[in-house]
Amino acid sequence: MTDNFEIINFHSIDDIRGKLIAIEGESSIPFEIKRVYYIYDVEENVERGGHAHKDLHQTLIAISGSFTVNLDTGQNKSSIFLSRPDEALWLKPNTWRTMSNFSAGAVCLVLASEHYLEEDYIRNYQEFLEFVNH
Ligand code: TYD
């Protein structure tokens, strides 16, 4: 059983004017990017997420500030602290995730492999356990 996630490091193009990171689908990250969204203005002590996906791949990037991603495969649990714009957390399908501990001004950029499809979500934890254990 794998952990269902990987860390991807991006090459930052730095010069005296600042830094630039370019992300290309199927190259910098292993899937085609069909959707981009971002989460911001999260109040202190708020938890987001609380679901898994059946087929969707996503990468989460702390474009600004920091937050913690809590992961659960049904067998393994881990927590990943994201605080670097040059680092992405690649979440594979069948991973229950919550995001917490958002710093003030944090922005979570998400690159997703599919368009939004509510049917791909598992939003009930018991249903998730049944789904991954069968
Ligand atoms: P939700 O899945 O609860 O966000 P989070 O993962 O941060 O907890 O999504 C919040 C709302 O936004 C929900 O009504 C679904 C909607 N939504 C879209 O319409 N399109 C999208 O691409 C996403 C990710 C969410």
Low-confidence ranges of the chain (pLDDT < 50): none
pLDDT of residue 108: 98
**What was the pLDDT predicted at 106?**
98
pLDDT value for 50:
98
Centre of ligand 1 to C-alpha 121, Å, is 10
The residues with which 98 forms a beta bridge, in sequence order, are: 49, 70
Query: Which pLDDT belongs to residue 3?
Result: 79
**pLDDT at residue number 90:** 98
Query: Which residues is 36 bridged to in the sheet?
Result: 111
pLDDT of residue 111: 98
Cβ-proximal residues to 127 (8 Å cutoff; 6+ apart), any chain:
none
Residue 134 confidence (pLDDT)? 85
Q: How many CB atoms lie within 10 A of CB 19?
A: 10
pLDDT at 39: 98
51 a catalytic residue? yes
Q: Which tens digits make up the pLDDT trace of 79-102?
A: 999 999 999 999 999 999 999 999
pTM for this model (two decimals): 0.96
Considering only CA atoms, which of 132, 75, 93, 122 is closest in space to residue 4? 93
Residue 131 · residue 75 · CB < 8 Å:
no
49 lines ligand 1 (CB under 6 A): yes
Q: Name residue 63's amino acid.
A: I
> Which residue owns the Cα nearest ligand 1 atom 9?
49
